[in-house]
Amino acid sequence: MTNDRLQNLARFTLIYFISTQIIMATQNTKRIGNQTKEKPVSTMDTLHDTWRVMKPFVHFSVKAMKLLTHALVYIVKHVPKPEEHEKAKRNKVIKI
Burial class (CB in 10 A: 0-12, 13-18, 19+), 34: exposed
Range of weakest confidence among 48-52, 66-70, 75-79, 83-87: 83-87
Spans of all domains in the chain: 51-76
**Is residue 62 over pLDDT 90?**
yes
| pTM, rounded to two decimals | 0.42
28: helix, strand or coil? helix
C-alpha 60/C-alpha 80 separation (Å) is 33
**Is residue 16 over pLDDT 90?**
no
- pLDDT at position 48 is 83
**Is residue 42 over pLDDT 70?**
yes
**Residue type at position 3:** N
